[in-house]
Amino acid sequence: MKAIVTGAAGFIGSHLSAHLLEHGDEVVGIDCFTDYYDPRRKEANIAALRGYDNFTLHRLDLLTAPLTTLFESADVVYHLAGQPGVRGSWGEEFVPYVNRNVLATQRVLEAARDVSLWKVVYASSSSVYGNAETYPTTEDLRPQPVSPYGVTKLAAEHLCELYRVTAGVATVSLRFFTVYGPRQRPDMAFSRLVDAALSGKPFLLYGDGEQSRDFTYVGDLVTGLRQAALSPWTGVANIGGGSRTTMNEVIDIISRLAHPIDVVRLPVQRGDVRHTAADTSVARDGFGYTPHVLLEDGLAKMVDAARLVFAVDQV
């Protein structure tokens, strides 16, 4: 397949691009290298991709890029680009979330409508559920986001469904549940935990540590993304890792894998949900998604990768 990957230089986008390239797909990456975190990390993310003859990168903003021209010869668009982060989405900072999560998605869908694409696969989020009423959570539960970020992800998901039903654009919206692995964004909890374990710096934990998440290893996720793209199935599906675990348990695991962590406990932040857990039966039945990587194994991969980077930085 010829695939477009928006957000190709990000954490998930770079892993997905590598996965597609390893399967022989042609990949056209689009990324505008925003400064939500250090763009040099994104440069490092895509360094290995440059060795593939079938990889091309365009430094473009989805809000202004000539998307119809870019999509004309593509089979699939994996739309991963967006403004991440729950805690930063309040107040005046809401504007970039609307622009990059809602308006950019509408432009992607308009361009997809104008060309003959097989599929648009959109990266939604478990944040659309908010504090879900039941666990594991199924897709038919009414979404009730508790953050502006979650509102924008749900709005973009509704756009995908709208274009699917009314314009014939084959879309899949996958609700990601807390993705982790090597190269995870530096603001995310596991990345900060591993950094604290290796550097000796304190880890700031918001809440009592008994909050739990359904953690999904990035390798399982990108496999599921490609499975969804190849399948004729369309609609909305959860993508989880099958390993709902508390933050206190994660701290213990990383402490065993690396070094004991100095934890500083702080009040819960607004927008943070207490628990998440995914029912992934729709994804399993629809396109064969099954997570395989156990949490401790995935964390070990993350620690090993971080050790290499940490060693280089110390030289």
What are the catalytic residues? 149
Q: Which two tokens stand for residue 285?
A: 């039945």
- H or E stretch at 4: strand 2-6
Say if residues 58 and 24 touch (Cβ distance below 8 Å): no
The partner residues of 122 in beta bridges, in order of sequence, read 79, 173
Q: How many CB atoms lie within 10 A of CB 51?
A: 8
CA angle, residues 77, 81, 83, in degrees to nearest 5? 155
Cα(186)–Cα(212) distance, integer angstroms: 20
Helix axes 11-22, 39-46, angle to 10 degrees: 10
Query: What ranges in the chain are assigned the alpha helix state H?
Result: 11-22, 39-46, 67-71, 94-97, 104-114, 148-167, 189-199, 218-230, 247-257, 281-287, 295-314
Indicate the burial class of 246 (C-beta count within 10 angstroms; 0-12, 13-18, 19 or more).
middle
Angular region, 199: left φ>0, alpha ψ -120 to 50, beta rest: alpha
CB within 8 A of 313, min separation 6: which ones? none
> Please, what is the end-to-end C-alpha distance for the chain in angstroms?
42
Name the nearest CA neighbour of 10 among 173, 126, 181.
181
- Number of residues that make up the chain: 315
